Amino acid sequence: MLKLMRFYAPRGLKLVKGEGQYVWDSEGRKYLDCHTAHGVGFLGHRNPYVIKSIKEQLERIMIASPTFDTEIMEESIKLLEKILPKNHTYFYMLNGGAEGIELALKTARRVTGKKKFISFINAFHGRSMGALAVTWNPRYRAGYDPFPWNVDFLPYNRVDVLEKKIDEDVAAIIVEPVQGEGGLAVASKEFLRSIRDSCDRVGALMIIDEIQSGFGRTGILWAHMRAETQPDIMVAGKCIGGGFPLSVVSFSEEIGAKLGIGAHGSTFGGNPMALAAMKGGIETLMKEAVVEKAKKMGETIKDMLEKIVEEYPRLVRRVKGLGLMIGLELRFNPTKALRILQSKYVLALRAGLNVLRFLPPYLISMSDVKSLEEALHETFREIEGRA
């Protein structure tokens, strides 16, 4: 009997339908989806703009390498140009976040001629070999060394340590503006600016990983923009295609101009269907006030979670995260809380060792927040034995 490799622990739930911020299981039960496949569903299940764009493209052409020009490529570039950092004039599309990280790291190695990278404690950038090299978690790294890069892991948000450790051997510093898998730590503006300044000082590149934090999820288009910094390379993914697998790597003019034919490639990267999905995703972003709604609802959820912290101090330490990339740092392993929440029709996930993470779609409503609040009360009362 053929068996699926269970790299992720099964949740014991068979999903059969999704719409907006909700999913339904095979028994017809409806759940508020704050898991969204690790943040992929930020634009909602069955996003109408994405579906419309993909359907239209299905009737035109499905298969075409970016070595050929297509109408959907031209349409997508016009939209993408409106949302990328202003100093980024080159981009390439791949199939997922880890692939995007690989291209970013390869570019830094090739352009600078250096072999050393700086990443941070609790960083997560993917599980392919290059991306894993700059991912901190020892459990993910075990048994896979040696890695292709020399990497120093420094404390996150420690400007003093960064400025002492960086030297002219560094090819690039890679950083998440909000650490997703690592526990929802938010980079300070000072920290991001120090990375930019340090890179400029030693001739290194600044790589921003916006795979989970970008495209409006944190209440700003790209989370690093809070610090008014300009990275040399940015990697985006997850929700940008409304659920379709794709990632975008964008480059400054100076860096992009140094890459040419043969520097990288991908069989499926930038295929017409992915381009159509991205077009629909960007149209959603621009026409539905996604960033503004994420900011407003993120603040609403944060206020609610702060009250939860006050009521259950023996179980919960604090609120972490930004916008709709938010969670509760618990005083225990989140596994039990996740299981109880699921029984209360809320799907969530963990971050780091002890953070209960919520990654809802921007469509989450006030009534949804109320349902989440009630489910959290019921969960923590049950854990405390107060039920």
The pLDDT tens digits of the residues spanning 315-360 come to 999 999 999 999 999 999 999 999 999 999 999 999 999 999 999 9
Looking at residue 386, what is its pLDDT?
58
Please name every residue paired with 118 in a beta bridge, in sequence order, or none if there are none.
152, 173
Q: Is the pLDDT of residue 305 over 60?
A: yes
State the Cα–Cα distance between residues 133 and 135, nearest whole angstrom: 6
The closest of 191, 187, 188 to 162, measured between CA atoms, is 191
State the Cα–Cα distance between residues 236 and 221, nearest whole angstrom: 11
Query: Under CATH, which number does the domain 48-287 receive?
Result: 3.40.640.10
Two tokens at 205? 């590149």
Q: Are strands 30-33 and 22-25 parallel, antiparallel or unpaired?
A: antiparallel
Please name every residue paired with 14 in a beta bridge, in sequence order, or none if there are none.
none
Residue 283 has a CB neighbour count (10 Å cut-off) of 18
Chain Cα centroid distance, residue 239: 8
Q: Tens digit of pLDDT for each residue in 27-52?
A: 999 999 999 999 999 999 999 999 99
Q: How confident is the model at residue 387 (pLDDT cuts 50, 70, 90)?
A: very low
Q: Tens digit of pLDDT for each residue in 82-132?
A: 999 999 999 999 999 999 999 999 999 999 999 999 999 999 999 999 999
SS3 content of the chain, % helix, strand, coil (to 5): 40, 20, 40
Looking at residue 385, what is its pLDDT?
83
Q: Tens digit of pLDDT for each residue in 55-90?
A: 999 999 999 999 999 999 999 999 999 999 999 999
Q: Tens digit of pLDDT for each residue in 250-277?
A: 999 999 999 989 999 899 999 999 999 9
Q: Tens digit of pLDDT for each residue in 153-190?
A: 999 999 999 999 999 999 999 999 999 999 999 999 99
pTM of the model: 0.96
